[in-house]
Amino acid sequence: MTATAAPQAGPVTTTADLDGNGEIETVTTTMAGDNDQVISATVNGVPTSIHLPADTQAGLQAPRAADLNGDGSQELLVPTSVGANTTQFAALHYHDGLHQIAGPDDKPLTLAEGGGVATKLGYNCSDTEGGGRAFGTVTAEADDLNAPSGQVTYTGTRTVYTLRDGALTVQDTTPFTHRADTDPLVIADPATCS
């Protein structure tokens, strides 16, 4: 492997308040082997780390810090696979160490973002009536890719989850059909979770 061809092996760092105590932790990501990355941080003097799949070919990308349930502790969205159109993320939360967030099926959660024109994949957060924050995902397919530019519509599902104790449960599922990509049901802005 030459220096010019070597993808980013790390470390890359990001910052997050993992335990919600108002003090910011440094989160360090390092490529630990083929398609293997290790995410580490020190919280209140106690080191913690976790291995996750990685995309050796694409190189390391820093995790995103995002508070998915509005409790003041930031979760981490870690890119694990980087495709031409779609990036996949694992999600971590801190509770006596870094752990993977479980999806509604009790398996480690995988989030997808991107999809190009044919598919819309993403996540966002929204305020709840009780002053909290709900986490949601959007999965949609273009109805007709031959539609004139700017007039492609999408059919899919918006799902809202509750994140508690490191696990997501489905709160609400909203199917939609033939919506413009500017429709609030289709838009998924990850910045709403930061």
Give residues 49-78 in contact with Ca ion (rule: CB under 5 A): 67, 69, 71, 73
Site map (CB under 5 A) of Ca ion, residues 15-54, x = contact: --x-x-x-x-------------------------------
Residue 160, both tokens: 């809202």
Closest approach of Ca ion to the CB of residue 65, in Å: 10
Closest approach of Ca ion to the CB of residue 24, in Å: 6
Minimal CA–CA distance to 100: which of 50, 136, 58?
A: 50
Give Rg (Cα) of the chain.
18
Q: Which is nearer to Ca ion, 26 or 173 (CB)?
A: 26
Is the separation of the CB atoms in 120 and 112 below 8 Å? no
Q: Which is nearer to Ca ion, 74 or 120 (CB)?
A: 74
Residue 95, both tokens: 């509770």
Closest approach of Ca ion to the CB of residue 171, in Å: 16
Q: Which is nearer to Ca ion, 135 or 154 (CB)?
A: 135
Q: Which is nearer to Ca ion, 71 or 181 (CB)?
A: 71
> What's the CA dihedral at 108, 168, 63, 85 to 10 degrees?
80
Closest approach of Ca ion to the CB of residue 35, in Å: 28
Task: Indicate left, alpha or beta for 115 from its phi (over 0: left) and psi (-120 to 50: alpha).
Answer: left
Q: With residue 148 as reference, give the H or E element that holds it.
A: none
Q: Which residues would be at the binding site for Ca ion (CB under 5 A)?
A: 17, 19, 21, 23, 67, 69, 71, 73
